[in-house]
Structure 1
Amino acid sequence: MRAVRLNRGLLKVVDLPAPRPGAGQLLVEVKRCGICGSDLHCRLHADELADSLDLCGYPRYLRSDQDVVLGHEIFGEVVDRGPWCKGTIRSGTPVVTVPLVRRGRQVDGVGLSASAPGGFAESVVVQESLTLPVPNGLPADLAALTEPMAVAWHAVNRGEVARRDVAIVLGCGPVGLAVVSVLKARGVGTVIASDYSAGRRALAMQCGADAVVDPSVESPWESAGDRHGFMTTMPDEYNAGIDAIEGLSRLPVPWWTAWRALESIGLTRPKRPVVFECVGVPGMLDGILAAAPLHARVVVAGVCMGPDTIRPSLAVNKELDLRFAIGYTPLEFRNTLHALADGTLNAAPLVTGRVGLTGVANAFTALADPEVHAKILVDPALETEEIVIK
């Protein structure tokens, strides 16, 4: 079997023994596998990631000196199954999968562990219980987006975004574009996307963003705050409180009685945006704490690979709500797949190219240029080192 192996930052096409599914597992012929930002990080920062996950109780994340087949955004067809499978997914069925495999009670991330080779290969072993048939004849390029779109689906859930909320997406790489798409699929009325890259701002518009901002020219905070009445300074809030008391004091009941009544129906709740940090570079988070309006809810979906410094006093004094997001639940994965299949979720703009196994290294290099590509899919059937532009 041909596969792309990573070792010490080098990607190389190699011949490996064909994988065999174990108990409760399926063998899938890979038709597409997306290149994720996590894959790019693994090439350069595998040991830092492994150290972090070791502290989280998972000591089997890939290390730079190990031979690893990357790739966890998998779409393919079932070709075989191991013992003790239910057999409800027949051979030839097109499927996507939550990229985890289990042996006993040991769980490994497919494509993110030396013990679980991934989808940059002709075949891959997946867990039957985590594998879903692809409905409605969903095209391969879109089916392969199920996993990364599920990450965005989960991030939006973490943000608890209501339709009337204003969402600000910082960074329009694949994660940010996916978040924009999910927000619009969920009916959020105002989505503002910010990125330095003109190409990615254009993709954000294709994904449904209501406005795009070049942060070198215009502040996304001013763009949102000027139109939606967010409080940007502490005196703004103090004055609002004093104004409210003075106004309510004109009523024939104590001001605190009127305040309680308004509070019970949500009218005293401050207006605030829901912010999605999708960049993941040092300094980004502290910059958000400094610039965001008071009471903003911040969902961190970008993975910062190095140590970072924030000023907690900024978040305290502004009463910011800071949340972090990773992965998704099996139900979120399933819901994402069906939203793609029924056309509710528009993810097509994310795919900018395809490449064969021999071109994976070239694709990793190309993804460093934000003006050209967002998501490149690996197609093992393609016999070319060149990236096929979609």
Structure 2
Amino acid sequence: MKAVVCTEGELSVREVKTPEPGPGQVLIKVLRTGICGSDLHAKKDATEVNALLLESGYATAILPNQEVILGHELLGEVVSYGPKTRGRWAAGTTVTALPVLQTEVGMHMTGFDSHAAGGYAEYTLVEEALTFPVPDGVSHDKAAFTEPLTVARHAVRRSRIGKKRPAVVIGCGPIGLAVILMLKAAGVTKVIASDLSPGRRKLASQCGADVVVDPKVQSPWDTLTLKSPVNSTPELLAFALEMTKAVRRIPMLSIEKIFFGADRLGQTPSGPVVFECAGVPGIIDHVIANAPLRTLVTVVGMCTEVDRFRPAVALSKEIDLRFVFGYDPAEFSQTLGMIASGKVDPSPLHTATVGLDGVAQAFNDLSDPERHAKILIDPFQ
């Protein structure tokens, strides 16, 4: 079969052996594979990616001198089954799958490991237990977005944002745009998006952002209109003072019951939920410095460099920091259902499709935010 092989920071189309499904595995013919920002990182600096994964307890990550087939945003059709499978779907069934493969040497992240070839190829392997059939009528191009949209779905779920709490999305690359889609699908009434790129700001509007700003011209924080007193520490202290005065006017009321009860019901003052999707040094510190008090910052963007922020500022403003990565099978299944039902439409993110021969150029093209958001690969194009 043909595949795009990454080694020593170079991509080349080669003839390689078609994989054979092992225990619990399914061989699929690849219909689409998305090019992810993490793929760009892996090509550019496999050593750095390897070091990061090793610190997470992953023992067999990509190395520059290895020959690795990238691609973890998978869509394909069933070809054959390995041993110890149930043969759940007929040959030709369109499926998508979590990019995880188990072999005799352990668990592997598909597309980041020489033991688990990814979807930049005509055929690849998936785990039957982590595979989901695509409902009838869903186009290949839309179904191929299941994996990256699930990343966004996981981020939104982990943030526990309520419908009335405003969201601020910093960075409108593919993941930021996916987060906007998922926020609107969750019913969040006000989503503010910020990006330096005019092209990405346009896509943010198409994905449903209610307010889109160029941070060079307008601060996203200036677009917030918060009812609760979280714009400054004196304002919050004044609110606490007035609340205490009001409670003490009624002798039978307990300060503890009022304040703690409001906290349990989620009625205490809070700032917005920020989704940091830029993944560049300095952004977290910028958010902490500028966001209102009691803001929840959900870090989605993957910054691979050493970064710094001032804990004392975060402490004084009671900023919550939450880091998210990946998703679980239930979220994956749910996201596929949301795409199938039309509740989420990833079409604005899809800016091009290339064959295997066009992958190397696609990596170069993705460096220009004005031209592309997400490029899909059709190995048989």
Alpha carbons of structure 1 residues 238 and 9: separation in structure 2 relative to 1, 3 Å: same
- In structure 1, distance between residues paired with 2:137 and 2:101: 26
1:53-94: CA deviation from partner (whole Å, max 9, x where unpaired): 112111211112211100010111111111121011221000
Q: Secondary structure at the match of 2:45?
A: helix
Map of 1:306 onto structure 2: 305
Note the alpha carbon deviations across 1:266-305, whole angstroms, 9 max, x for none.
Answer: 4751132111000100111111111111101111000001
Paired residues of 1:136 and 1:342 also in contact (CA < 8 A): no
How many angstroms apart in 2 are the aligned matches of 1:320 and 1:376? 36
**Aligned residue number for residue 241 of structure 1:** 240
Bigger shift: residues 233-242 or 164-173: 233-242
Residue in 1 that maps onto 2:354: 355
Q: How does 1:361-376 map to 2 (within 5 A)?
A: 361-376=360-375
User: Which residue does 1:64 correspond to in 2?
Assistant: 64
Is the CA contact (8 Å cut-off) linking 1:24 and 1:84 kept in structure 2? yes
Q: For each residue in 1:218-251, what CA deviation from the matched residue of structure 2 results, as whole angstroms up to 9, or x when unmatched?
A: 1111211x35545122112112112222333433
Are residue 17 (structure 1) and residue 17 (structure 2) matched?
A: yes
* Residues 267 and 23 (structure 1), Cα distance of their counterparts in 2 relative to 1, 3 Å cut: closer
- Counterparts of 1:140-219 in structure 2 under 5 Å? 140-219=140-219
Q: Give the direction of change, closer, same or farther, for the CA distance of 1:169–1:374 in structure 2 (3 Å limit).
A: same
TM-score (norm 2): 0.96
Counterpart secondary structure, 2:175: helix
Q: What is the DSSP-based 3-state SS (H/G/I as helix, E as strand, rest coil) of the residue aligned with 1:68? A: coil
* 1:323 aligned onto 2:322: yes
Moved more, 297-306 or 227-236: 227-236
Would you say the 8 A contact 1:177–1:204 is kept in 2? yes
C-alpha distance after superposition, 1:23-60 (max 9, x if no partner): 11111111100000110111112211211211211121
Q: Which residue of 2 aligns with 1:39?
A: 39
Distance 2:64 2:214 in 1: 36
Distance across 2 between alignment mates of 1:318 and 1:218? 23
Q: How does 1:214-229 map to 2 (within 5 A)?
A: 214-224=214-224, 226=225, 228-229=227-228
1: CA distance between counterparts of 2:148 and 2:259?
44
Provide the C-alpha distance between the structure 2 equivalents of 1:238 and 1:260, rounded to a whole number of angstroms: 14
**Counterpart in the other structure of 2:285:** 286
CA RMSD of aligned residues (A): 1.6
Moved more, 42-51 or 269-278: 42-51
Segments of structure 1 that go 5 or more residues without pairing to the other structure are: 383-390
For 2:24 and 2:232, how far apart are their aligned partners in 1? Answer: 57
Structure 1 equivalent of residue 345 of structure 2: 346
> Residue 309 of structure 2 aligns to which amino acid in structure 1?
I
TM-score (normalizing by structure 1): 0.94
Match of 2:116 in 1: 116
Structure 1 contact 39–70 (Cα < 8 Å) conserved: yes
Aligned mates of 2:260, 2:50 — CA distance in 1: 52
Pick closer, same or farther for the CA change 1:108–1:44 going to 2, 3 Å: same
Q: Is the 8 A contact 2:300 2:323 kept in 1?
A: yes
Gap regions ≥5 residues in structure 2: none
* Counterparts of 1:62 and 1:140, CA distance in 2: 28
CA distance in 1, matches of 2:35, 2:156: 22
Work out the number of aligned pairs and report it. Answer: 381
Q: How far does residue 121 in structure 1 lie from its aligned partner after superposition?
A: 0.6
8 Å CA contact 1:45, 1:305 repeated in 2:
no
Kindly state the Cα deviation for residue 137 of structure 1 after the two structures are TM-superposed.
Answer: 2.1
Pairs within 5 Å for 1:122-141:
122-141=122-141
